[in-house]
Amino acid sequence: GVRLCRDAEELAEHTVYLLGGTYEWQTSPRILVEEFAQGPYFLADIMGNTIIEIGAGNFGPPPHFVYREYTYPASLTDDQRTRITDVSLSCLGALDLHWGPTNIEFRWTERGPVVIEVNPRLAGSPDPQLIQLACGVDLVTEHIKLVIGDECDLRKRHSQTASARFLVPDRAGTLDRIDGADQAAGVPGVAEVTWYTKPPTPIIMKGDCRDCIGHVIAASPTPTQTSAILQRAVDSITWSITPFPSIDE
């Protein structure tokens, strides 16, 4: 339900949409209006008070924020890394979050890092897998160790660039077929090709993460190589969507 509203009219229109019963988890007639922080997106993944890794992401076109790609580690300047680290630790202190996993989302704006969310949990899939591919730390296992009283091992074991590309249709309709998934999975460096749905199934564009139908994950020693592997894999995948019949039909 997150959308960029450019003026009061668009805000009123989206408010009516949100309060009209569209979202099944809605329990009270409230909306959150916040500043649009414009700039690159970063995500800090933390265990206890240790920042494991900082990733970067990008999104599809506005007014929606449907994610398209995540990469670990993010390409950061020393200043960016220092400031994101400092703000992350400040958030943990302000909210008394010093145990277990946390992920904090940022936008890097003209005034530096602006906090979008602080989540006292692991980031959603596939972020933990990307971190494991990038640096060898298995956040799921280390979280379980904490819960059962064992000692965490957050040492990085290697250094790679891992990226996930989300597969998003450009229109609504019936997803008839998906081709090329096996070829994509066979590209050297591809770690995973996952589908969230399978044909035939109706595709209804909602303007959020539910628009994604799958993802491809790749990892290699360098950002350039990982990007090339990912693009080769994605280029081998095609799908067919038949438009829904019109009312007249």
User: Active-site residues: which are they?
Assistant: 121
Residues in the chain: 249
Q: How far apart are the C-alpha atoms of 167 and 131, rounded to whole Å?
A: 20
Per DSSP bridges, beta strands 50-59 and 41-47 are antiparallel
Q: How far apart are the C-alpha atoms of 189 and 187, rounded to whole Å?
A: 6
Tokens of 43: 């995500």
Q: How far apart are the C-alpha atoms of 12 and 163, rounded to whole Å?
A: 37
Number of H helices, E strands in the chain: 6, 11
Phi, psi of 149 (to 5 degrees): 90, 5
